[in-house]
Structure 1
Amino acid sequence: MFPRLALTRLRRLAVALSLAAVVPAGANVAHAEEVTVFAAASLKTAMDEIAPAFAAETGDRLVVSLAGSSALARQIQAGAPADLFISANTSWMDTLERDGLIRSDTRRDLLANSIVLVAHGKDAEKVTIGPDLDLAGLLAADPSGSGRLAMALVEAVPAGIYGKAALVSLGLWDSVSAKVAQADNVRAALALVATGEAPYGIVYATDASAEDDVSVVGTFPADSHPPIVYPAALTGSATSVAAERALDFLSGDTARAAFERQGFVILD
């Protein structure tokens, strides 16, 4: 039998060891903070990797809310308590800046992307995307009969806005607009193609790489749509040092590597 004092010390040692196993090295537990990040849905895979890396390095926690940039911007306009906003286009960030809802001095262009035409399955035939593409014919040939083109909301969500702009620029929009199946965000549009509910879709190149059940059949020319830029900024309500650390972390080596693995082009 161990003396009572020895047992007490053993229990304390066990507790200390268990805490050491779950608290990141170098973390200041007493001052750990949560940072709420509103991020475009197309950033999901990268943010899934970045959030735990940030926690391991700082002890602070990223709480990431993912949706279409338009929905997130409107939530910030309505007073949602976000600390950091990463948009998939500059327009929504411009809107928040005009409204005085971001800290303009922290705004930076973080990433660039491209849009692609994806098809259900892994062995779809490649096409050349240009004015001569018979996209309507491809949709009509869908064996399932749905013949839908999955896109994010074409008047609100950046991926949809870019996609429509490209189709209009190439003279293809009028022939397929009636067949467009609009989704709340680009990941939802991707899911329609992955599950076979739509034979084709227009998504970011980075989203396509995150889904095993789709294949990229063509990339839209860069000059067929506005540049795809992801700006990031602290919101007007962000006051913590942790939020500033989070924004800086997104430009650091660890985050840059995560973004590059998903196919993003680093701008900052």
Structure 2
Amino acid sequence: MSSLKHFLRFTTASIVSLALSCSTSFAADKEKVTVFAAASLTNALNEIGQQYEKEHQTKVIFSFASSSTLAKQIANGAPADLFISANQEWMDYLIDAKAVNADSRITLLKNTLVLIAEKNSPLNEVTLNSDWDIKAAVNGSRLAVGDPDHVPAGQYAKQALENLNLWKTAEPLLARANNVRAALALVEQGEAPLGIVYSTDAKVAQKIKIVATFPASSYSPIEYPSALTQQQSTDCAKAFNQYLQGPSAKVVFEKYGFGVN
């Protein structure tokens, strides 16, 4: 017990020390923290960022998009301080490119995959198995997903549909979106009757409902790794990175439905 107390005191002292160092730097140089993060993190991170700014008087700037888009931007020199991906592969890509600090990499969050419909849809429940008639379900329209060629949510969706023996039928019916929030919007706006998104996206949407949850065994674990960029490991970036792993951020992440490691 004494060892645990010592560890907690040490960790808390480290966070406070970094925050004080960052505050001093911010006051002198107007330094900011720029975070590139997967689109599915928009609501949670915006709330955490506002909370952090009030507590630490440090400006936090977010850029949200598909993990693939952001990873390529960072690899090409975009000035990010921290990257949070919606899958491990795009973080691997940046580590191979030596564009992030591999030693700072952690798996921050987890998520799950769901099938959604517009809130007023007559469809209320779908049994996800090889007998599901996707063509009849979309009724001449499309199934909205993140583009499986590069968007993590779409890649997880493809895995799930393949494992349920549905991919061959589903592929020509896809409405391929640039990120998971764009796929969500297609269903919200009535452009597509069904979509595959993360459960956290469904949680924040007002105009949709969940009609099925994909079996966890049908796709790889949905994990969100984070890492400091190689070129921008400032005290402010380190302090915010630690804050994301702390209890205040955990409360917000869990509020939005994320699993926290």
TM-score tier by shorter-chain length is: 0.7 to 0.9
Q: Which residue of 2 aligns with 1:127?
A: 126
**Pairing of 1:94-243 with structure 2 (within 5 A):** 94-122=92-120, 124-140=123-139, 145=140, 147-243=141-237
Query: What residue in structure 2 maps to residue 13 of structure 1?
Result: none
- Structure 2 distance, partners of 1:121, 1:209, is 12
Cα deviation, residue 253, structure 1: 1.2
In the alignment, residue 134 of structure 2 is paired with which amino acid? L
TM-score after normalising by structure 1: 0.85
Residue in structure 2 matched with residue 15 of structure 1 by the alignment: none
- Residue 244 of structure 1 aligns to a residue whose secondary structure is helix
Task: Report the equivalent of 2:91.
Answer: 93
Q: Is the 8 A contact 1:88 1:228 kept in 2?
A: yes
Q: Distance in 2 between matches of 1:130 and 1:242?
A: 48
Q: CA deviation at 1:211?
A: 0.7
Uncovered stretches (5+) of structure 2, i.e. residues with no partner: 1-22
Over aligned residues, Cα RMSD in angstroms? Answer: 1.3
Which one-letter code corresponds to 1:63 in the other structure? Answer: I
In structure 1, what is the Cα distance between the partners aligned to 2:222 and 2:38?
13
Please, what TM-score do these two structures have when normalized by structure 2? Answer: 0.87
Structure 1 residue ranges without an equivalent (≥5) = 1-26
CA-to-aligned-CA distance 1:37-70 (integer Å, 9 cap, x gap): 0000000010110111111121111100000000
Paired AA for residue 244 in structure 2: L
In the alignment, what sits opposite 1:50? Answer: 48
User: For residue 74 of structure 1, what is the aligned residue in structure 2?
Assistant: 72
Distance 2:254 2:233 in 1: 29
What letter corresponds to residue 209 of structure 1 in structure 2?
K
Between the aligned partners of 1:194 and 1:79, the Cα distance in structure 2 is: 35
| CA 1:116–1:249: 2 relative to 1, 3 Å | same
The residue type paired with residue 131 of structure 2 is D
| 1:122 Cα offset (Å) | 4.8
Q: Distance in 2 between matches of 1:41 and 1:69?
A: 8
Q: How many angstroms apart in 2 are the aligned matches of 1:199 and 1:251?
A: 37
Equivalent position SS for 1:209: helix
Give % identity. Answer: 46
